[in-house]
A and B are shown apart, each in its own frame.
Chain A
Amino acid sequence: MSQSNVQAQAQAGVKQHPISLYLKVWVLLFVLSTLSYMVDYFQLQGMLRWSLILIFMFLKAGFILAIFMHVAWERIALKLVLFLPPLAILVLIVLMAIEGDYTFINRLLSFISS
Chain B
Amino acid sequence: MKENIPPTENTNTQEKNEDNWQGVVRDWSADKQTFDMPWGKLMMWIFLLSDTFIFSIFLTAYMNVRMSAMDSWPNSSEVFALTIAGHHIPLVLIAIMTFVLITSSGTMAMAVNYAYRGDKKKTVYFMAATALLGALFVGMQAFEWTKLIVDEGIRPWGNPMGAAQFGAAFFMITGFHGMHVSAGVIYLAVIARKVARGDYEKKGYHIVEITGLYWHFVDLVWVFIFAFFYLW
Interface residues of A (CB under 8 A from B): 1-3, 5-6, 8-9, 12-14, 16-17, 19, 22-23, 25-26, 29-30, 33, 36-37, 39-41, 43, 49-50, 53-54, 56-57, 60-61, 64-65, 67-70, 75-78, 80-82, 85-86, 89, 92-93, 96-97, 99-101, 103-104, 107-108, 111
Contact = CB atoms under 8 A, between A and B. Distances in A.
Chain B residues touching A, majority SS: helix
A32 to B, nearest CB: 9
Given A2-B118, A92-B57, A75 B23 contact: yes
A33 B102 contact: yes
A39 B108 CA distance: 28
B63 A5 contact: no
Interface stretch (B138-146, B178-186, B223-231): B223-231
Contacts of B201: 1, 5
Chain B, interface size: which category? 35 or more
Given A30-B102, A33-B95, A37-B95, 14 more contacts: A16-B113, A19-B110, A26-B102, A36-B226, A41-B90, A50-B232, A60-B223, A65-B216, A75-B27, A77-B35, A78-B42, A86-B49, A100-B63, A100-B66
A64 B116 contact: no
Shortest 7 CB-CB contacts between residues of A and residues of B = A100-B67, A5-B118, A2-B118, A26-B106, A103-B68, A57-B227, A77-B27
Contacts of A3: 118
A68 B61 CA distance: 29
24 contacts: A6-B117, A9-B205, A16-B113, A22-B109, A26-B102, A26-B106, A33-B95, A37-B91, A49-B231, A53-B227, A54-B227, A68-B109, A68-B219, A75-B23, A76-B20, A77-B27, A81-B45, A81-B46, A85-B53, A86-B52, A92-B56, A93-B60, A96-B63, A101-B67
Given A6-B118, A69-B217, A100-B64, A53 B19 contact: no
Nearest to A26: B106
Chain A residues touching B, majority SS: helix
